[in-house]
Structure formats: structure tokens, C-alpha cells
Amino acid sequence: MNDALRQKVTDVFESDSIDKSLYSGSGLNEQSIPVFVGEWLIDRQLKGGEWDEDVKQQVIAFVRKFMPSKDDVEDLKQRLRNGDNVSVLEYVNPRVDLTKDQTFLESGSLGNQKVQIEEHLLSRYPRLLKGGMWGIAIYQYRRTDKGGEVWLSEFKPLQAAKIEVDEYVEKRHLFSREEWTQLLINSLGYNAEGPGGYTEDKTRLALLTRLIPFVQRRVNLFELAPKGTGKSFLFGQFSRYSRLIEGGAVSPAVLFYNENTKVPGLFTQFDIVVFDEAQSLSFSSPDETVAKLKGYLEQGKYSKGKFTVSADAGAVFIANVQIKSDKTPVNAKHLFSDLPTILQETALLDRIHGLLPGWHLPRMGVDALSKGVGLKADYLGEIFHALRFRIEYDKFVEERQHLIDSKDFRDVRAILKLSAGFLKLLFPDLSTVTEQEFEVYCLQPAINLRQRLREQLAYMDPEFSRHEITLRRGPASAMKHEVVSVEESEATDGVEA
């Protein structure tokens, strides 16, 4: 990042920006502390001063004090019994139990101890009940006739307390498209220019595509990439709104609804559910899980027992792919050949909106890390979450769907969702985007993502015809296929199709 752009970002975003090299050099990543938490800790200690060894040690001391290890669990419990308040930095995600008329959480720092919550905290921090929050949790022990209870008596949120989305949108016009792209890439912790940086259009596009499920509701992606390209890092570290499932067996209770504990599944709790290491993924009760997954990916709702729910989470599958010396896949005709059988079912894959070519991304090295200024991860994560509910972008792309030359419902709907995502990322201020820019930087990349998936479907299943999705020129009045909405599902489409 050149000095002029660094200064512009600092001037325009002031307290919402941070030197991205601080986190990568702090050692916090080695302690499994997410980026959005780590940057908050750094900014808290930095307070506008210089980053030096003293400040770094202050951050490390804070972590040791407020993020205890598993070895400290019983000691913390004993301190509570002795009447001490215990303060820890952790993710607080309350649940409401209507049967027992109470709200509670399970504290990981206390060994998944059940904790009661003061009602005034729920009123003061309503986001606690909308996906949970990171912050300093202060616990205390209260003796009762039946023994004792742990209570959350106070909470100090970590995340940005106030997010002004309109202000973020308005600031977009102060940057050129190139400057804004560099800002986004640096905000992810990557270097956007110079040797070892993400300078090629195809590598930048792949990085930005990873962000679409953060800003657009119910976007389903499949990414195939070589090892070491940072796919797990982004989805697991960047935002509190994504949940990474690292391979192995996954049950319907985890994804959808646990009938024993009455706890809704991950799709209701996060914006994105990410299936990492998909090549080793398996489902317990595979027939039931896959059937419900197909229904959810298509319609955004599912039923389990008496429980029926609609959700906004997108599903992202990420897996490794072998590449040749020219950086292209070894088996380009059948990219899903190494995946388990359950992920080669074309009825399931057809519900994926796009195939992200992760082979365009280089293996991460030291030079790939940002040395510039970007937006704080907690701030940008909240902005992206808020943009998911801005319908003006969906309307913008729906008015231009006549440009998509395909009569296939799923093609059109997938492209609308993906192009709306690109629009939110690159042109959040709709007054700044031209028709040509929308076609080049939003619509055509979305078409390419869907086309790549369609080619795989056609190779795997003769029922899928081969056809090229192209940009159509001409007025909207010339459109002959049915108008498709970004969010509406096709009522006649069964989940077994």
C-alpha cells in the first residue's frame, strides 16, 4: 500500500482503521485468537500510541489474565466458590429456555458451566440474543437452597459498539475502484500490491468471492483450492458470524435442531456455516442429513420433528484440489472426483450457486501478509453483516436480470445472488456504479462462477445439458423468461429434485 492510500484510509476511516501488520506480528494468531478479537486487543492497548515491545507485552499479559487455559478451569471455579468475581474474555452466546423461563449460557472458560444472566444485560446489549458477542464476562457465584448457581453479573462488549452503515456507504465515493479493492484486500490481512502480493485480477477476484456469503444472505459456494491458500483462515478467523466445521462426521442435530436439548442448529446461529476439509466430510444419518440440506440450500428452511425454521445462513464447502505445474487442476473435467459420494450428488451440487477457483490463489507466504492499513476486522464484520439486510442491492440486480442469457431458474437466481454480493463489496454506494462497471465487475464474474459449476454438473450427469451462460444485450422488455427474485424460492421445486 503506497503512502498516499495509507494516509487516505487513515484520514477517512480514522478510528475504524488499523495497521494490519500489527496482528500478524503480535503472536496472537499462534494462540488461536481470531483476528477481530486480536485487533481489538491491540487497539485497546495502543490507544493511538506507537507499537513497541512494551505495548506488545501488555497485550500478551492481558490475554494471559483474561483468556485462561483449560488447566485453569477448576481454579476459576474454586475462586467463584470462595466469593471472588471471575472476569474472562470470551464469546457469550445466551439461549432462552421458555420451559424453565430463564436465559442462560455455557461458559467455555468454566468448562461449559451453565450460567444464569442478569436481565438488564440483555436489554443493554440486545445483540447478545442475536448471535452472541465477544467481550469481558464477569461471573459470580450465588448459593441457593439447592446448592449454587453461577451468574453473569456484568458484561463489557468487545465489538464495535456503534456501526454506521450509511456512513460507510457514503465514504465509498472518496476512493477509486482500485483503491477500494486494495482497501478490502488489506482489511482481510493480505498484501494488495508489490512482490508476493495479490496483484493479479484473478487472485483478487477469488479473494473477494470468498467474502460474498458475508454480505449476501443464503449464498452457497464450493471452493476448491490447493493447501496453504488461507481458505480456512478467512472463514474461521475474520468474523464472529461464520462457523467453521473442520471435517469429520456432522449430525443433523448440529446443523438443524437437537431434539434432546431443544437447541436450534448452526444454520440458525451464524451467517455462514463452513464445511472445511470437505474431502473428509461425512454425515451421521446421511440420507436424512442430505435430504434436509438440499431442502435448506434451496428454500432456506427446514423441519426436524415439530421444529420448523427459516434461516439466512449460507453454506460454504471448501476442499483441497491437486494442481499441475501450470497452477491448473489435475482433473479439470471432474473437479469433484476426490470428494465423498454424498458431495458428488448433482441434485445437491445444483443448489450451490458458484464454484470458486481457489487454484488461482497462491500459497500464502510472508510477503502475502498486509503491511498496509485496513479496516478493523470487528468493524468490517459488523458492516458486512448489516449489508446482508439491505434490499436495494437485490432490487438493483433484479432490474437487470434480462442481461442473463439463461432460462434455467437456478442459474438465474444464483447469478443474481452472486452479483448482488459483488455489488455490495465493490460498489456499496449505488450512485457510484455505472452500467458497464456492474456488468464487468459484478455480473460477469457471477456468471463465470455459476458456469464453472454447470460444466461440472453436465460432465457428471447427462440430465444437465451443456450450455454457455452469456450476457444478453437488449432492453428488459425483450426478456422472455419468468422474472426471478433474489430471495424467493421456487414453490414447485421439490427437495428431492
User: Quick one: 225 and 306 in the same domain?
Assistant: yes
Q: 359 in a domain, yes or no?
A: yes
* Alpha-carbon torsion (405, 411, 415, 416), positive or negative: positive
Statement to judge: residues 239 and 339 lie in one domain = yes
350, 446: one domain: no
| Final residue of a structural domain among 368, 399, 433 | 368
Range with the poorest average pLDDT among 7-11, 103-107, 195-199, 371-375:
195-199
- Cell readout for 175 is 476512493
Is 63 inside a domain boundary?
A: no
Helix (H, G, I), strand (E, B) or coil at 432: helix
Same domain? For 398 and 359 the reply is no
CA distance 137 to 67: 11
Encode pLDDT of 474-497 as tens digits.
665 555 556 788 876 443 333 344
Q: What is the percentage of the chain residues whose pLDDT exceeds 90?
A: 49
* In a shared domain, residues 269 and 297: yes
**Domain end (from 338, 368, 398):** 368
60 has a pLDDT exceeding 70? yes
Can you tell me whether residue 400 is helix, strand or coil?
coil
What pLDDT was estimated at residue 208? 96
Task: List 117's β-bridge partners, or say none.
Answer: 152
CATH code for position 290: 3.40.50
Task: Give yes or no for a contact between 321 and 358, defined as CB atoms under 8 angstroms apart.
Answer: yes
Residues 140, 250 share a domain: no
* Confidence label for 22 from pLDDT (cuts 50, 70 and 90): confident
In a domain, 26, yes or no: no
HEC string for 294-321 = HHHHHHCEEEECCEEEECCCEEEEEEEC
User: What is the domain extent for residue 349?
Assistant: 170-368
Residue 450 lies in a domain: yes
Give the pLDDT band of residue 467 (cuts 50, 70, 90): confident
**Confidence at residue 13, expressed as pLDDT on a 0 to 100 scale:** 94
Residue 259 pLDDT class (50, 70, 90 cuts): confident
By residue count, the chain amounts to 497
Which DSSP helix (H) or strand (E) runs through 377? helix 377-387
What are phi and psi for residue 6, nearest 5 degrees? -60, -45
Report the mean per-residue pLDDT for the chain: 87
Does residue 102 carry a pLDDT above 90? no
* Predicted local confidence at residue 490, as pLDDT: 40
What pLDDT is recorded for position 76? 94
In this prediction, residue 257 carries a pLDDT of: 81
pLDDT at 347: 94
Q: Is residue 182 part of a domain?
A: yes
Determine the pLDDT at residue 491. 38
Question: pLDDT tens across 286-298, in order?
Answer: 888 888 899 999 9
pLDDT of residue 263: 74
Residue 60 resides in a domain:
no
Residues 202 and 331 in one domain: yes
Indicate whether 93 and 231 sit together in one domain.
Answer: no
Contact of 140 with 151, CB cutoff 8 Å: yes
Give the confidence band of 211 by pLDDT, cuts at 50, 70, 90.
Answer: very high
Q: Looking at residue 364, what is its pLDDT?
A: 80
Same domain, 220 and 286: yes
115-144 pLDDT tens trace: 999 999 998 988 788 767 888 999 999 998
Q: Which residue has the cell 500490491?
A: 193
User: What is the rounded distance in angstroms from the CA atom of residue 393 to the CA atom of residue 486?
Assistant: 10
- How many beta carbons lie within 10 A of that of residue 294, not counting itself? 20
Residue 18 inside a domain? The answer is no
Which cell is 438 given?
Answer: 456492474
User: Which pLDDT score, from 0 to 100, does residue 304 have?
Assistant: 74
Mean pLDDT of 37-59: 78
Asked if the model's pLDDT at residue 278 lies above 70, the reply is yes
- pLDDT per residue over 227-255, tens digit each? 888 877 788 778 888 988 887 778 888 88
From the DSSP assignment, how many helices (H) and strands (E) are in the chain?
18, 19
pLDDT at 161 over 70: no
For 317: left if phi > 0, alpha if psi spans -120 to 50, otherwise beta; the answer is beta
Task: Label residue 77 by pLDDT band (50, 70, 90).
Answer: very high
Domain assignment of residue 23, yes or no: no
Task: Report the 10 Å Cβ neighbour count for 34.
Answer: 22
What pLDDT, on a 0 to 100 scale, did the predictor assign at position 158?
Answer: 77
Q: What pLDDT shows up at residue 465?
A: 84
pLDDT for 368 equals 81
| Residue 221 and residue 354 in contact, taking contact as beta carbons nearer than 8 Å | yes
Any idea what the CATH number is for the domain that residue 86 is in? Answer: 2.40.50
Which of 157, 186, 218 marks a domain boundary? 157
pLDDT of residue 492: 34
Domain co-membership, 196 together with 322: yes
The number of folded domains in the chain is: 3
- Residue 407 and residue 267 in one domain: no
Q: Are residues 198 and 334 in the same domain?
A: yes
